[in-house]
Structure 1
Amino acid sequence: VLQIVTWTGIYGLSFVATAVNSLIAYGAIHRSKAWLGAGALVIAILWFLPILGETPSGDTLDVRLVQTNIPLDQPWKKPASDDLLNELGALSTREATKTRLVVWPETPAPFYLNEDKDFRSRMQQIAKKLGAYFLVGYIDAIGEGPTNSAALLNPQGQVVSRYDKMHLVPFGEYVPFKRLLFFAESLTRQVGDFMPGTDYTLSPLDQHRIATAICYESIFPDLVRQFVKRGSELIVVITNDGWFGESSAPFQHLRMGVVRSVENRRYMVRVANTGISAIIDPYGRIVGRTPISVRMVLDGTVRYRSDRTFYTEYGDVFAYANALAAAAIAVAAVYDRRRFRGRERKHVRRTH
């Protein structure tokens, strides 16, 4: 049933879930075996329905996902910071293979690629040693404000693209309605004051183009869709879910990435600081994943795709159609009620 999102988006799944649950609820209330049976039959069909019309993908890309597992209380004074970066550098380059793209997660630390020469040199060394492209999260700036950014370095260590996170986390990366919330300054003082990006950046990788979404941007279908519609052949998501520990949140965040992959029929490379890092294929199958809270690398192979789904091309048409249908039904119900009341009044007048 997940495959319907290539046409309907995530709202199609919600529609199916609501419809099936309504069948079961109606059958239970009216003690109707027919309705209950219909609900059970739909569930069985959706459960065992195979993936239909699976099409092959394009060129391959060997990737290395580096799950840095940097704790929230990591000290950033030397020599502790140097020791950590030395370990992560060795982890990223160990057993050098045919990896073409190395990915670090959303920055969980004060990493400054442009301002910190030592950090920049370390990142360049990783790219050069592996002879691979290297995507890394870091803190940059737009004007006088900081940005949550990701840079792609080529195998020579040169920055070839930069993406600034557009959809910031309210009360985490910025304070919405800051002027109206002046009275809560003591509560919002520790909140970041990041600046949002404005461009759907596509990064060049050999003869292909890839897109990067940062953290919870992956929960927004239209944002990810716009990257693919503009020509992205691969989706990369970098995130830091360390704030959630081993709760259900990292698992839920991963499942949202699964839906984004299917909606747009793209491979997804998902790298999380503390996990779950994963490689997801265009049909929602998780072909490789890591456990939570383990510092490790995950090597795998993905494929580029350039085709577009109906959802990629037209977006939430299904949702808008449902909203219009609901509005039309509501208007029709109001109109029928008024017409019925008008008939009642005429009938009362005639009888008197």
Structure 2
Amino acid sequence: MGNSTWGPAGLALLTAAVLWVGWPVHAAPLALLLLVAWVPYLRLEQVLVRQRSSGWKVFRYTYLTLVLWNLFVTYWVSYSTLGGGVTAVVLNSLLMCLPTMAFYHTKRLAGPRLGYVSLPIYWLAFEQLHLHWDFTWPWLTLGNGFAQANQLIQWYEYTGFLGGSLWMWVVNILVFGALFGLGTTPENAAPVAPLRRWLAPVLATLLPIGLSFLIGATYQEKGKSAEVLVIQPNVDPFQEKFEGTVNFISYDEQLSRLIRLTEQQMTAQTRLVLWPETALDEPYWESNFETYPKVQRVRQFLAGHPGLELVTGVTSVLAYPNKETASTTARFRDDLGYYDFFNTAVHFPSATGKAEFYHKSRLVPGVEGVPNWVKAATIDLGGNAGGLGSQAERTVYRMAAADSTLRVAPVICYESIYGDFVNEYIRNGATLIGIITNDGWWSDSPGHQQHLQYATLRAIETRRDIARSANTGISAFINQKGEIMTQTGWWIQTGRRYSVRLNEELTFYVRHGELLGPAMQVLAVLLLLGTMIRSVNRRFAAKPDEAPQAAVARMS
């Protein structure tokens, strides 16, 4: 890199490769590579600028870097849907060019010093946006990269996972500056950096790590204990789970498997059982939910085990009286009227207690969720493809016993990768995070492993134990420090039982919410405006006679 012998394409490949090697689910110590992974890209951009390359050329190699990274880390999305996998790689890489090219133009117009300061600001502003719009896909949020090495980031309880994104950029920029200098010309570079140049990157690396180890060593898990059971029925979503598939297992037999596995694994002390996402997949109308034979079978099962409570995934349907009361996601049929489909978690507090419903609200773009303008068009045209419905508030399931501190956040699949979203459950009183998911769509790939590792970040941010039930994938229990205490294997019918701790205290991150992302968005806007104003002023200062001459020309 020092002699630029790699060339732009080689530096792009090197960046993507180091990001991939450092990303979960490789060996945990390799996560430290993420602290230098962007150095080749920064060198790439610096060399192209020194060569006076066009902005278009910088964009091409930036896009190449990001496409390779997205491909290496998330290629497995194509196992579920080839078109979706290709779209995720191509479009997400293009979106990531927004902060990187904003950095390039800021550095060009406002100088290197402000330029390198702007890069983490633009990037975190982009990550915050990517958490809160219709095509949200925050899988590659940089802070996720430390999930498997969570002993390094115990301070996420203060910053959330965007704090990891900021840390990664700061260290990368400081290391790059120590190696090559932050100037745009060779005269400003420092091929052999003085020792003092390394003080900042070393401190920026070691201080957060030292703080993390200190927090981890002194943190004591809090709360009363309760025995929880998670079930992994292992029904192949491509060939067995859904009606019409090649080796379809009847819904009655799927329910029998869930009950059998539960009875094999539970003890007299088990208080809560989690069954996975869409464990009961036939559409259940919520208005007459109790009339379904399989719901009655669940009630009979619970009647045989007094004191046991169940949270399970279902596919539910909710009818609306008329168009005025229908949601923007509602579908319409002449014989049914307006109605919504939901990916739902249902709580059975006992054999006779009223069932409670929570509707998944962070939907997978394109697969479950449809952009607002498409939803509106669907309603207006009387169509029948409005995507799944959702709800505005986070539901927390409070266990039946009046004095129970077991209060479950029913987090469904994709929702578990959103830190600020999961915080809402905790602020509503949850003492345990219960994740129900179906990770079998991604085959035996890094996809289901990354999904499990990302859940450890939610444990650290909220200091809550996590019980995770996967249809197939990995079911597990995670403690309040993000440590996986027990987990299942891949592609087996089984269950896991564990005594969780029920913490009722709120972390700084839960109490105050996401601070870094919104702050960076404000700074990004100010930076862009300031850069444009500074550029205009510099242009007029360099050519003081240009403005009057231009005015005369326009008048003539």
TM interval, shorter chain, is 0.7 to 0.9
SS in 1 for 2:154: helix
- Note the 1:282-297 alignment, pairs <5 A: 282-297=480-495
With a CA cutoff of 8 Å and minimum separation of 6, indicate the structure with the bigger relative contact order: 1
Question: Does 1:119 find its partner at 2:285?
Answer: no
Is structure 2 residue 427 aligned with structure 1 residue 222?
Answer: no
Which secondary structure state, in structure 2, belongs to the residue aligned with residue 146 of structure 1?
Answer: strand
Q: Kindly indicate whether the alpha-carbon contact (under 8 Å) linking 1:279 and 1:288 is maintained by their aligned counterparts in 2.
A: yes
- Indicate if the aligned counterparts of 2:266 and 2:497 stay in contact, CA closer than 8 A: no
Q: Is the 1:164–1:198 contact (alpha carbons within 8 Å) kept by the matching residues of 2? A: no
Partner of 1:258: 456
Write the letter of the residue equivalent to 2:222.
S
Q: Which residue of 1 aligns with 2:278?
A: 107
C-alpha separation in 1, matches of 2:214 and 2:170 = 22
Q: 2:229 aligns with which of 64, 77, 81?
A: 64
SS at match of 1:110: strand
User: TM-score, length-normalised on structure 1?
Assistant: 0.85
Following the alignment from structure 1 to structure 2, what is the Cα–Cα distance between the partners of residues 235 and 333? Answer: 44
Instruction: Tell me what 2:165 maps to.
Output: 14
Aligned to 1:139: 315
> May I ask how many residue pairs the two structures share in their alignment?
343
Q: Distance in 2 between matches of 1:220 and 1:274?
A: 21
Residue 199 of structure 1 pairs with residue 350 of structure 2: no
Question: C-alpha separation between the residues in 2 aligned to 1:95 and 1:277?
Answer: 14
Please say if residues 142 and 195 of structure 1, whose CA atoms lie closer than 8 Å, have aligned partners that are also in contact: no
Structure 1 counterpart SS, 2:281: coil
Match of 2:169, SS state, is helix
1:332/1:105 CA distance change after superposition, 3 Å: same
In the superposition, the TM-score normalised over structure 2's length comes to 0.56
Corresponding residue to 1:242 among 426, 440, 460:
440
Q: Identify, as 1 or 2, the structure richer in helix.
A: 2
In the alignment, which residue of structure 2 is the partner of 1:86?
256
Superimposed CA distance per residue, residues 132-162 of structure 1 (whole angstroms, 9 cap, x where no aligned partner): 1111111212212221111111233534422
The one-letter amino acid of 2:227's match is D
Structure 1 residue ranges without an equivalent (≥5): 183-187
Aligned to 1:170: 365
How far does residue 329 in structure 1 lie from its aligned partner after superposition? 4.2
Q: Which moved more, 1:10-19 or 1:280-289?
A: 280-289
CA spacing shift, 1:180–1:25, aligned 2, 3 Å: farther
Aligned-residue sequence identity (percent) comes to 27
Q: CA deviation at 1:120?
A: 1.1
Shift of 1:256: 2.0
2:240 is aligned, of 64, 71, 74, to 74
Whether 2:483 is the aligned partner of 1:308: answer no
Which of 325, 328, 343 lines up with 1:148 in the alignment?
A: 343
Structure with the larger strand share: 1
- After superposition, residues 172-187 of structure 1 pair within 5 angstroms as 172-176=367-371, 177-178=373-374
Distance 1:162 1:194 in 2: 15
CA contact (8 A) 1:147 1:197 kept: no
Aligned CA distance change for structure 1 residues 197 and 142 (closer, same or farther; 3 Å) = farther
Partner Cα separation in structure 2 for residue 70 and residue 3 of structure 1: 36
| Structure 1 residues 209-259: Cα deviation after superposition (integer angstroms, max 9, x where no partner) | 221111101122222111111211111111111111111111121122111
2: distance between equivalents of 1:51 and 1:161? 41
Identify unmatched segments of 5+ residues in structure 2.
Answer: 1-151, 181-189, 320-338, 547-556
The 8 Å contact of residues 57 and 305 in structure 1, kept in 2 or not, is answered as: yes
Q: How far apart are 1:46 and its partner, in Å?
A: 4.7
Q: Is the 8 A contact 1:240 1:273 kept in 2?
A: yes
- Report deviation, 1:104: 0.3
CA contact (8 A) 1:163 1:199 kept: no
- 1:172 partner SS: coil
In terms of mean alpha carbon deviation, does 55-64 or 67-76 score higher?
Answer: 67-76
Q: Which whole-Å CA distance do the structure 1 matches of 2:463 and 2:491 have between them?
A: 29
RMSD between superposed Cα atoms in Å: 3.1
CA–CA distance in structure 2, aligned partners of residues 321 and 211 of structure 1? 28
Distance 2:485 2:262 in 1: 21
Match in the other structure for 1:161: 356
Contact 2:279–2:312 (8 Å) recurs in 1: no
Does residue 1:129 correspond to 2:304, yes or no?
yes
Letter in 1 for 2:167: V
